[in-house]
Structures are given as structure tokens and as C-alpha cells.
């Protein structure tokens, strides 16, 4: 599979950070460090993924890229929302270093 420049887009990733309030309550937020990754974003599909994810497959995207340095599982992905939005619209399910790096993204439900 060739990654054509015309089909690629920039997706913003931020890692998940655990933060603690002054009263000791912990909660998860998104890091201030932004990782921009250029790649081809497509809907997920196929027999193997259907067996693996079942009904969740309709809420998933696949991103094919040359390099995904700095992107970890459970990171937030700003795919269809502006990069300055407070919450991501997708989260990283898996990062697979095959011939191209493949990032599996799942829709975050509000």
C-alpha cells in the first residue's frame, strides 16, 4: 500500500496524564505536549477486525503512517475536531509497527 501525499492529513495526538487535585482526588487529563502525525485515515473494516471488535467496528478508524513516534495506546486523537478543542473525538486503541505504522482509533462517546 502506498501512502499518497494527496490522501494524507494531519492528526493531533496527546497522551493521557493522571493529575491529582489538592484534596487528593485523581483524574485523567490530556498532556500539553502535542504530537502531529501525517497519515492516511480510513474507516476500519475486514473480517479479522470484525471478529476482534464486533459491533464496535463501526466506530473505528485506521490510520496508516510512516512513523508514529510519541503516540502511545490510550492517547487522545483530534481527528475531526479542531486541535485546540478540550476533548478528543477518538482514542488510540493500538499502535502496530508493520510495514507502515498502523494506528487503530476508536470513537470517544460523550
Mean pLDDT of 23-31: 90
| Integer Cα distance of 96 and 26 in angstroms | 30
What domains are there in the chain, each with its CATH number? Answer: 5-107 (2.40.10.270)
Q: Label residue 95 by pLDDT band (50, 70, 90).
A: very high
Task: Give the CA count within 13 Å in the CB-facing half-sphere of 31.
Answer: 16
Which pLDDT score is estimated for 3? Answer: 75
Nearest CA to 37 out of 14, 67, 16, 7 is that of 67
Q: What is the mean pLDDT of residues 12-28?
A: 91
State mean pLDDT over 13-29: 91
SS3 52: helix
- What are 66-76's pLDDT values in tens digits? 888 889 999 99
Amino acid at each position: 500500500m502506498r501512502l499518497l501525499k494527496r490522501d494524507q492529513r494531519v492528526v493531533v495526538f496527546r497522551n493521557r496524564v493522571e493529575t491529582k487535585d489538592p484534596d487528593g482526588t485523581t483524574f485523567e487529563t490530556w498532556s500539553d505536549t502535542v504530537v502531529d502525525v501525517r497519515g492516511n485515515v480510513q474507516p476500519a473494516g475486514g473480517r479479522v477486525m470484525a471478529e476482534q471488535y464486533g459491533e464496535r467496528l463501526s466506530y473505528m478508524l485506521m490510520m496508516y503512517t510512516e512513523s508514529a513516534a510519541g503516540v502511545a495506546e490510550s492517547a487522545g486523537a483530534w481527528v475531526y475536531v479542531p486541535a485546540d478543542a478540550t476533548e478528543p473525538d477518538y482514542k488510540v486503541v493500538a499502535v502496530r509497527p508493520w510495514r507502515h505504522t498502523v494506528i487503530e482509533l476508536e470513537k470517544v462517546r460523550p
